[in-house]
Amino acid sequence: CQETDDGGGGSYEGKATIGLHPETYEPYLSSLVSVIKAAQPDAKLFFHQTWAYELDSSHSDFVRYGNNQAAMFDCIKKASEKAAESIGAGLIPTGKAIQILRETVPDFDYKNGGLSLCRDGFHLSLDYGRFTAAAVWLYFLSGKQIKTEEFGDFDTLLLRKITDVVNRL
């Protein structure tokens, strides 16, 4: 939880492999929110939506979802939306942004030779994956759009495609 001038705020996320099941959040999430609200009654709460693993992920827990990225994301989406709603938190939809990029931007269509947004099948890549997450967080916490021209080491056309997706969430 990070304190701010306007009363504070906090963000939460479930562990990717077990957090896909809303029942695993309780009683911990409610207890955590109670502690935060006792200390900062006006705190703004956020729940971070994680992303599904890459299509060919070798993570041992991927089998729980039939090694199916779409099925995993569907579980993430439902669980994170339910958790955010249950605690009155805003949802930071990083997972949704990642999935939209995978499904609609050919440059990130890994199945057909595009770039992966993961570096090891489950953690975000150090370039475009993390850039996407940062852009989502910036946009949802501040309403500001990330300035793509400040990232000279990246393909600015790809960055614009990412920010176009983020700004439509």
Which residues is 47 bridged to in the sheet? 12, 91
Average the pLDDT over 81-97 and give the result: 95
End-to-end CA distance of the chain: 24
The count of C-alpha atoms lying within 13 angstroms of the C-alpha of 15, restricted to the half-sphere facing its C-beta, is: 7
Q: What is the pLDDT of residue 142?
A: 94
- pLDDT tens readout for residues 137-154: 999 999 999 889 888 899
Q: Phi then psi for 120, rounded to 5 degrees?
A: -140, 15
Q: What is the pLDDT of residue 54?
A: 98
Confidence of residue 21 (pLDDT cuts 50, 70, 90): confident
Q: How far is CA 109 from CA 56, 96, 97, 134, 163, in A?
A: 13, 15, 14, 20, 17
**Prediction pTM value:** 0.89
Confidence of residue 132 (pLDDT cuts 50, 70, 90): very high
Q: Using DSSP, state whether 151 is helix, strand or coil.
A: coil
